[in-house]
Amino acid sequence: KTQEPVYRIGFSQCTTNDAWRRAMLAGMQKELSFHPNVQFQMLDARNESDLQQRQVRELIRQKVDLLLISPNESGPLTALAEAAYNQGIPVVILDRRTTSRLYTAYVGGNNREVGRTAGHYAAQLLGGRGQVLEILGTPGSSPATERDLGFRQALAGHPALQLTAQVNGNWQPASVLRRLPAVLRAHPEVDLIFAHNDPMAQAAYQVARQLGRAGHIRIIGVDGLAGPGNGLQLVEDGILKATLLYPTGGEEAIRTALHILRQEPYEKENVLGTMIIDSTNVGTMRPQTELLAQQRQDIQRQQLLLQEDLRRFASQKTTMSLLLTS
């Protein structure tokens, strides 16, 4: 069997500081455990676009064999992703997009559909009438832009449903805890909150409870992660009315990267589906996704053990042949 060449994948990740990004990395590591010939380097931009620009420049300077990137904001990272692409470095865009079509492949959800599905669900919950508040992700990050577009598009079909206020939550619960109280006080009639991710939705619940309004306001989030304190549990505990599943695409990103590196056929657009998770299906979803997460860990552990055995076997073989030839 011929040895696979060493591939160097550089991953510019906008942040590593939340459960969704950790789940993405776990999916990547599982998939990478099948490919010990891949050198994987992840740089964490800590939600800062200028830091991410410097890190992408560094990966380009190192001439990585493939650049994976999840841009913190679309604008500031577009020129660099294009530059890498134009230099012949394959670029795989993950979850958040640039504003350009110059990339090798995209892996991630359809965020407009996420927003639209949330809007239709909200309309159904409220019987087509009421006041809605939206908590957005970082302005200029593509999922925030697209979730908002889709959400407003769906609401537009319901004239008695009003988008009363919007709050920028920057994808982070701390921003929601800081900004939401004043906005909620200014709008005593809010019936429903759509937050662009589950951590911000959970923070919205905290604020609503502090104001004594948690009993009335229904909250919808996005992500639907398994694991303690994450979206599925929040739905099961009744803190969130629903969450929209938003797959991380970690495994698919690595698989796509390998197809590209090995010059195998691949899809340019790899769009992952979404679905509503609420009290009617969380009871079946949760055990299933938790099992999947567990299996992912088991697979990775087995692969690492297998690689270890292979290495040991290889060194035994060399010792053996040395003995035999001496």
Residue 85 or residue 171: which is nearer to ligand FRU going by CB?
A: 171
Residue 264 or residue 269: which is nearer to ligand FRU going by CB?
A: 269
Least distance from ligand FRU to the Cβ atom of residue 208, Å: 20
Cβ contact 13:70 at 8 Å: yes
Residue 27 or residue 137: which is nearer to ligand FRU going by CB?
A: 137
Exactly one of 9, 11, 21, 261 binds ligand FRU (CB under 6 A); that residue is 21
Residue 31 or residue 95: which is nearer to ligand FRU going by CB?
A: 95
Q: Is 20 in the site for ligand FRU (CB under 6 A)?
A: yes
- What is the side-by-side order of every strand in the sheet holding 276-278? 161-168, 130-136, 192-195, 218-223, 242-245, 276-278
Q: Using CB under 6 A, which residues numbered 220 to 249 contact ligand FRU?
A: 222-223, 246
Binding track, positions 131-170, relative to ligand FRU; x by CB under 6 A: ------x---x-x---------------------------
- Residue nearest ligand FRU, CB atom distance: 197
Q: Using CB under 6 A, which residues numbered 55 to 114 contact ligand FRU?
A: 95-96
Least distance from ligand FRU to the Cβ atom of residue 304, Å: 27
Exactly one of 49, 53, 74, 197 binds ligand FRU (CB under 6 A); that residue is 197
Residue 25 or residue 261: which is nearer to ligand FRU going by CB?
A: 25
Q: What is the binding site for ligand FRU (CB under 6 A)?
A: 15, 18, 20-21, 95-96, 137, 141, 143, 171, 197, 222-223, 246
